[in-house]
Amino acid sequence: MALMDQTPGIRPRLTLGRRLDIAARLALPTCVTVLVMLATELPFGMPNQAALLPAVALIGVWFWSVFRPTSMPPPIVFLIGLLLDLRGYLPLGAGVLTLLIAHGIALRWRRFLVEQGFTMVWVSFLPIAIGGAVLIWLLAALLNLRLLSPVPALFQAIVTFALYPVMAIPLAFAHRSLADPARA
């Protein structure tokens, strides 16, 4: 049940247009996350551009799981992880598992994190970024049956942590305006 359905008062009738508007606002976090993931695949000519795909996926899932969990349910996180695995050439299931674990941690800590400021949310994202990079590295090493260099995992964690503020600012704006079903 949406937040606007729980508050007392007179509400406008739910016309088809309002229902579509509410559905679009609920789908916005997923659509934004997927579109940004696909945008990282565009040929920008940046060095190590492939590291952006897992970073933006993890940031999108973490942010929306903390601030708008109803718009980022586990089946959607699973599909985003599957897209990450397929587009990022990761071992199948590595991105899914990583994003589902991050989603679960975000749900567990969201009541505490929502009350904190941006800096605390960003600092609490550091173990998630490190853990996600290490988990993907471990699963890739396990599935390849050989020890891989840990340098790409370290680079991935640094990129993910450093990219969080860049993505969080527009996502916070969308959270307060476009994605809010109560404004429909």
* Band (50; pLDDT cuts 50, 70, 90): confident
Instruction: Tell me what percent of the residues of the chain surpass a pLDDT of 90.
Output: 71
Q: Does 18 have pLDDT greater than 90?
A: no
Q: Mean of the per-residue pLDDT values for the chain?
A: 91
Residue 1 counted as domain residue: no
Residue 86 counted as domain residue: yes
Residue 180 confidence (pLDDT):
73
At 21, give phi and psi (nearest 5°): -65, -45
Sign of CA dihedral 84, 88, 94, 95: negative
Residue 171 confidence (pLDDT):
94
Total domains present in the chain: 1
Cβ neighbours of residue 142 under 8 Å, at least 6 residues apart?
A: none
d(CA 23, CA 19): 6
Residue 26 counted as domain residue: yes
Range of the domain at 112: 13-183
Q: With H, G, I as helix, E, B as strand and everything else as coil, classify residue 76.
A: helix
Average pLDDT over residues 101-129: 96
d(CA 184, CA 178): 9
Q: With H, G, I as helix, E, B as strand and everything else as coil, classify residue 37.
A: helix
Q: What's the predicted TM-score (pTM) here? A: 0.90
* Band (4; pLDDT cuts 50, 70, 90): low
Residue 44 counted as domain residue: yes
Residue 151 counted as domain residue: yes
